[in-house]
Structure 1
Amino acid sequence: MHILPRATTVKGPADQFTADVHYDVLSAGEPPSRVRVNIVRFAPAAHTAWHRHANGQTLHVTEGLGLVQSRGGEVLEIRPGDTIYTPPGEWHWHGAAPGHFMSHMAIWEALSEGQEGPETEWGLHVTNEEYGSGH
């Protein structure tokens, strides 16, 4: 057992996030493990672009008030203690509600040996209409 070095907080890239989003990598899936874990912090109204994960994703909200939506579904409000599972290949977005910060733990798996395609596929930014449909 050993204590891992602390990762530097990274600002989320503008092609994947709207507004100010920062994250810390807790687990990068060092082989043989494939698990990846980030702590993600969203400023009020900041959110991801549409994206999907080859092996699904689990989010666990740790603080604040947020929003999440699967393509074609309704915008759902998420709060501390909520755990959200998105199945493999499902397009979705998540982020902070207007006027609120939100933080969550994001958990997903890297591709398995021989698995094809991107681990995470990023799409278009969420439109103002899509984001605002939950309010």
Structure 2
Amino acid sequence: MTSNSRFDQMFPLGEKNDAYAQYFSGQSYLAPLTAGSVPVSNVSFEPGCRNNWHIHHGADGAGDQILLVTAGSGWYQAEGEEPISLEPGTAIRVPAGTKHWHGAKADAWFSHVAFITPGDGVCNEWLEPVTNEEYDQLPTTAQQA
């Protein structure tokens, strides 16, 4: 396990995710794990941090996002669906074209490994933030869904 003063997890915390800060509420961290045709990154979220609603696009089976939860406690929600509590060992496949968000619970750090299935037309569309009103309705770690 990698240990730092913030959070114990199996992969590096990485640097502050400043390049994408405009698409997050709160502080996230990014640690690229592999490069090449299928870049894989460890993304960590401070308590309460979450990304904006967004959609991954792709054609002919490309553009699915895979999230493999490695540490902490978080949320995933697809538009129109109930939020899913994320704990280490949870794997989520987000089909291309699905509007969704993911991030930490209000009182817990959270980390997942993320990658996108490669192929034609792969791109990301960032949308509106998850409002505090939406987020504050979710249970905290102490009262899990």
TM over 0.5: yes
Matched, 1:61 2:69: yes
Matched, 1:39 2:42: yes
Cross-structure match for 1:5: none
Pick from 2, 14, 31 the counterpart of residue 24 of structure 1: 31
Which 10-residue stretch deviates more, 92-101 or 125-134? 125-134
- 4+ runs deviating over 2 angstroms: 132-135
Measured in 1, the distance between the counterparts of 2:48 and 2:16 equals 19
Pick from 91, 110, 117 the counterpart of residue 99 of structure 2: 91
Matched ranges for 1:76-87 at <5 A: 76-87=84-95
Give the alignment's TM-score, normalised by structure 2.
0.76
1:75 positional shift: 1.5
Cross-structure match for 2:127: 123
CA deviations on 1:30-49 (whole Å, 9 max, x unpaired) are 2xx3x121100100010110
In structure 2, runs of 5+ residues without a counterpart are: 1-13, 58-62, 140-145
Greater helix fraction, Structure 1 or Structure 2: 2
Give the conservation status (yes or no) of the 8 Å contact 2:16–2:27: no
Q: What is the RMSD of the two structures over their aligned residues, measured on CA atoms?
A: 1.8
Give the alignment's TM-score, normalised by structure 1.
0.81
SS of residue matched to 1:58: strand
Cross-structure match for 2:15: 9
1:27 positional shift: 2.5
1:22 positional shift: 0.5
For these two proteins, the number of residue pairs brought into alignment is 121
Give the conservation status (yes or no) of the 8 Å contact 2:16–2:30: yes
Measured in 2, the distance between the counterparts of 1:45 and 1:10 equals 15
In structure 1, runs of 5+ residues without a counterpart are: 1-7
Give the conservation status (yes or no) of the 8 Å contact 1:27–1:36: yes
- Residue identity over aligned pairs, in percent, reads 36
